[in-house]
Amino acid sequence: MDAPGARICKAFFLTASPVPMILPPVSHSWLPWWTSVATRPLRPWWPHTWWRMEASPAHPPTVYLTFDDGPTAIATEALLRILRHYDARATFFLIGHHVQAHPQRVRRIVEAGHAVGNHTFTHVDAWQTARSTVIRELEDTARVIRAHTGGPVPLLRPPYGHLTPALCRWAGRHGARVVMWDVMPADFQRGASPTSVARFTTAHVRSGSIVVLHDNPMTEPVTLQALEAILRWGTARGWRFEALPTPTTGP
């Protein structure tokens, strides 16, 4: 069975295609390219979104790793351990009902210097769900995260990458940012291996890149090894791994 994040890209990147096309069979070899490169022309059309951060020549090259779908019982701890070993920071997009199940993990993430964001309460698909339900899921999730962090939750990522104008407007009204990505190595995809995920990431990452990985027991065997390889590769080159900046306003 696919990991919970697995349908992300099949749906988003097939339907968000700027060009009607006959699609090849879904395989790990083309999906990361499609998700990371072919969607570039669409990005400027969506307000209040971040796809890649500004690279500053004054600073060492910086990469923003993000982990979706946590917090989880085991995977979160393993991720935190690896990140700590490399003195790396990241951003975790949390599911509201997972926050309720593992509140102590949220505190551990924040105490370790990472940022957290909103990934809806039940991993709801904004393309298949009433607008009011999606907004309520975002508000409920912001509330449960805020209960543990004490501050606003100004970053959000829609499950499956399914942007809608209403979601972007909601983010804009609250001073929040919708965080997408420019590198999606598809660690959730059947056929992904630690080597394929690490290779795709290191080949496509640039300073300011936002990389999507998953905090999910089903992707864990691939994600953890890939993460080690990515961090080893980056730190050997003097790259920094940082949490996304968090606006001071937000829901």
Catalytic center residues: 68, 214
Angle at 208 between CA 221 and CA 187, to 5 degrees: 20
Size of the site for Zn ion (CB under 5 A): 4
Query: How far apart are alpha carbons 122 and 249 in whole angstroms?
Result: 24
Out of 3, 26, 36, 68, the only residue in the binding site for Zn ion (CB under 5 A) is: 68
In this complex, which beta carbon is closest to Zn ion, that of residue 96 or of residue 159? 159
Q: Of 143-172, which residues contact Zn ion (CB under 5 A)?
A: 159
Least distance from C-beta 154 to Zn ion, angstroms? 19
End-to-end CA separation in angstroms for the chain? 34
Please say which residue, 122 or 225, places its beta carbon nearer to Zn ion.
122
Residue 160 C-beta: closest distance to Zn ion, Å: 7
Pick the closest to residue 92 from 197, 215, 177, 227 (CA basis): 215
Cα–chain center distance at 184:
9
Cα(88)–Cα(112) distance, rounded to whole angstroms? Answer: 10
Which residues, 6+ apart, have CB-to-CB distance to 124 below 8 Å?
133, 134, 137, 159
Stretch that binds Zn ion, among 4-12, 20-28, 71-79, 104-112 (CB under 5 A): 4-12
**187 makes contact with Zn ion (CB under 5 A):** no
CB 107, min distance to Zn ion, A: 21
* Binding to Zn ion in span 196-225, by CB under 5 A: none
How far is the C-alpha of 229 from the C-alpha of 202, rounded, in Å?
A: 9
Q: Decide if residue 137 touches Zn ion (CB under 5 A).
A: no
Joined tokens for residue 177: 């940012």
Contacting Zn ion (CB under 5 A), which of 13, 35, 69, 234? 69
Residue numbers of the site for Zn ion (CB under 5 A)?
Answer: 5, 68-69, 159
